[in-house]
Amino acid sequence: MTVVPPPVVELRGVAKWYRRSRPILRDVHLAVRPGEVVAVLGGNGAGKSTLLRIAAGLSRPSTGRVTGGPRPIGYVPDRFAAHQHMSALGYLTHLGRIRGLGGSTAQRQAARLLERLALVGGGRSALRTLSKGNTQKVALAQALLVPPRLLLLDEPWAGLDTAAGRVLGDLIAGVAAAGGAVLFTEHRTELVAATATAVLEIADGRIHPGGHRWAR
């Protein structure tokens, strides 16, 4: 008998609207379990980022419930502002310490991720000088400093070159293999097909199962 593990995060009957807005999400039911990599598709403005923010606990549903909310959560937002004068390595080390790592572990982990993602110019580069793709590498590294039980990625391939894109695929697979759950948004179907174990689509505020499961 196969035992289905409990969801890492679960949304039950979630709806979201902003003042005077149409409902962005309606009656969304979604469960992401350990080892799953779930892709959320949908057109511009469909509500994908809204869904991720709710799953992250950053935005409250107007109705419905979110259960789970494990720690640590890794979250890469659709826009990562990095205007600081700090270096990439200094910034990530600082964040790692805030998240409970010792100073040298935080620095080692930050350096390892930046090297793996091949941050151009290296970790000493000031954040505000980084190109879009290199800023995205820092955004990804901050989400992975502490191995997340839930990894939420909003269009994580945006701006990445091919090599870094492949590394991202490996990092996502690594989180899932370690028993983490991953929920990501993406428009490019080839990236979804190569990465996701399940696909959902948001249309009219409702979640529609993609129906297709791609074997890894």
Q: What are the tokens at 193?
A: 């097909």
Q: Give least dist CB 116 to ligand ATP, A.
A: 27
Site string for ligand ATP, 72-91 (x = CB under 6 A): ------x-------------
Q: Does 134 bind ligand ATP (CB under 6 A)?
A: no
Q: Is the peptide bond before 34 cis (omega within 30 degrees of 0)?
A: no
Strand 9-16, strand 25-32: pairing: antiparallel
Q: Give least dist CB 78 to ligand ATP, A.
A: 6
Single out the residue of 143, 145, 150 nearest to residue 77, CA to CA. Answer: 143
CB neighbourhood size of 206 (10 A): 15
Candidates 40-48, 66-74, 87-95, 141-149: pick the segment binding ligand ATP (CB under 6 A). 40-48
Q: Give least dist CB 198 to ligand ATP, A.
A: 18
Candidates 38-46, 79-87, 139-147, 158-166: pick the segment binding ligand ATP (CB under 6 A). 38-46
Q: What is the 3-state secondary structure (H, E, C) of 48-59?
A: HHHHHHHHHCCC
Candidates 5-13, 39-47, 108-116, 159-167: pick the segment binding ligand ATP (CB under 6 A). 39-47
The Cα 60–Cα 112 span in angstroms is 34
Phi, psi of 106 (to 5 degrees): -60, -45
CB 129 within 8 A of CB 82: no
Q: Choose which of 50, 136, 142, 195 interacts with ligand ATP (CB under 6 A).
A: 50
Q: Does 54 bind ligand ATP (CB under 6 A)?
A: no
Single out the residue of 43, 49, 45, 55 nearest to residue 14, CA to CA. Answer: 55
Order the strands of the 73-76 sheet from edge to edge. 73-76, 150-154, 181-185, 37-41, 198-203, 206-209
Q: Does 65 bind ligand ATP (CB under 6 A)?
A: no
Q: Does 20 bind ligand ATP (CB under 6 A)?
A: no
Say how many residues touch ligand ATP, by CB under 6 A.
12
Q: Does 180 bind ligand ATP (CB under 6 A)?
A: no
Q: Does 24 bind ligand ATP (CB under 6 A)?
A: yes
Q: Which spans of this chain sit near ligand ATP (rule: CB under 6 A)? A: 18, 21, 24, 42, 44-50, 78
